[in-house]
Amino acid sequence: MRLRELLDAGRIIVPLRARKLRDATRQLAQALVRAGAVADEARLVEILKSEWPEDIVSVSGRAFLPHFRTDAARELAVALGVAAQPLCRANDPNRCARVVVLVIAPTRDASTYLRAMSAVAQALASDEVLDGLHRATGPADVLALSGLGETAVPSEVTVRDVMTTGALALPPQMKLREAADVMLGRDVSAVPVTTQDGVVVGLLTDRHLLRYLLPQTVQQLGTGQMRAMKRRTAKGSPVDPGDVPVRDVMDRSVLCLAEDQSVADVAALMLSKEVDRFPVTRDGALVGFLTRGDIVRKLLGS
């Protein structure tokens, strides 16, 4: 399958007359209704009002990909619009783009849905395609872009399709107490540890925080405070566990994934190795993070 099979003139709006991203998405949804790709228009309208997705994909400032898996959709469907002026996220004026691509699919079609989004993102990564979309004066100009229509929809879901990009990372020299503050503040249970060049050298998890910061031997004081045993340095002097560098406690043997690995293979690896989270690297450098929860939410969630 190629993207040209998911697009026709009736599913393309150029120019897209909208000032807000949500309005643009509603217009594209109506295009899909007119194209017969929607089984329950009222339900889709309600979803657009009340279930606006928090994780709208932004393709490097080039485009927005609002996406919904819902039984209001009759089939996998794609609609594309190009606004005359950049549209911005409501709460983030720094995230703006002129191109908006709406992807909807029935709840059962998780794999096809993710593969279509991957193809759209790949096409929009091309400067030639983006320039062509910005110059387009109507649907015919969009359909004439071979770099868009000829982009193949991949045959399987890959790590790239489900991973979290812009992953949080910690430097090896950070103190454990500071690392704990970062992890608690971001509500994450594991963080890759990287060099200045982004090379993954370790993984810090909540297990390390429990082991080193939660007191191993605790004495209840009259104030209600807890006193932990202090570690000792090589010279024998006591050190507060919170002052220990991350590199001294992190896991140094870390399984990393490549972006083009299939999610099916990764799921099997998670089960066989009893590992539920992986850094994703390209040439050794961190480009993303994938957890069991990411796979469950994006493949099984609605």
The more confident residue out of 238 and 26 is 26
pLDDT at 221: 33
- Entry pTM: 0.65
What whole-number distance in Å separates Cα of residue 190 and Cα of residue 170? 10
What whole-number distance in Å separates Cα of residue 80 and Cα of residue 78? 7
pLDDT at 151: 92
When pLDDT is averaged across residues 57-76 and rounded to a whole number, the result is 84
**Average pLDDT value over all residues in the chain:** 85
The more confident residue out of 29 and 241 is 29
Neighbours of 193 (CB within 10 A): 25
**Helices assigned H by DSSP within 99-235:** 110-124, 127-135, 139-143, 146-149, 159-162, 176-186, 206-212
When pLDDT is averaged across residues 118-126 and rounded to a whole number, the result is 87
φ/ψ (deg, to 5) at 202:
180, 180
**Helices assigned H by DSSP within 38-126:** 41-50, 110-124
pLDDT digits (tens, 9 = 90+) for 151-210: 998 888 889 888 888 789 999 999 999 999 999 988 888 999 999 999 999 999 988 988
Nearest residue to 111 via CA among 161, 160, 148, 151: 161
pLDDT at 93: 72
Q: Are 115 and 263 in contact (CB under 8 A)?
A: no
57 strand-pairing partners: 65
- Domains of the chain by range and CATH? 3-154 (3.40.930.10), 165-208+245-300 (3.10.580.10)
Q: Are 170 and 275 in contact (CB under 8 A)?
A: no
pLDDT at 215: 59
pLDDT at 53: 63
pLDDT digits (tens, 9 = 90+) for 241-263: 788 899 999 999 999 999 989 88
> Which pLDDT band holds residue 36 (cuts at 50, 70, 90)?
very high
Asked whether the predicted pLDDT for residue 229 surpasses 70, the reply is no
Asked whether the predicted pLDDT for residue 218 surpasses 50, the reply is no
Neighbours of 273 (CB within 10 A): 10
Lowest mean pLDDT among 24-28, 75-79, 121-125: 121-125
